[in-house]
Amino acid sequence: MSVAEVWYTMPAPELFKPVYKELDMRSTDIKRVAGIVTLAAVTGLAGCASTSEVESLRSEIRQANDTAANAASTADAARSEAAAASRAAAQANATAEEAKSMAEATDAKIDRMFKKSMYK
């Protein structure tokens, strides 16, 4: 029997059994190594941190939270100022459109008056 004949005659689950077994062993090894590394990291961090270091980290965290709160309030103020500027710009645009239409109407009126004076 040739390799091609074996390939086509083998049922699919038996064909991939060696591959699945190899992958299962790899994932088990990876899980085992990841667990050992995690355990070592937690043990190392727990054993090395002193009370003063923890308090220092807590104060840095508080300071970072205060900075974030200040940044958020500044962003809110900027957002409200931007909204006010947008409203003012919309009002200015409306006023400009009104002035433009009045100028066009005046221009048309002047043209009519000029044409009328030319016919006399």
How do the domains of the chain map onto residue ranges?
Answer: 1-48, 50-120
Per-residue confidence at 20, pLDDT binned at 50, 70, 90? very low
- The DSSP call for residue 10 is S
Task: Map tokens 């009104």 to a residue.
Answer: 98
- pLDDT attached to residue 23: 47
- pLDDT attached to residue 85: 94
14 or 115, greater pLDDT = 115
Q: Which amino acid is at 84?
A: A
Mind listing the pLDDT tens digit for each residue in 68-81? Answer: 988 999 999 999 99
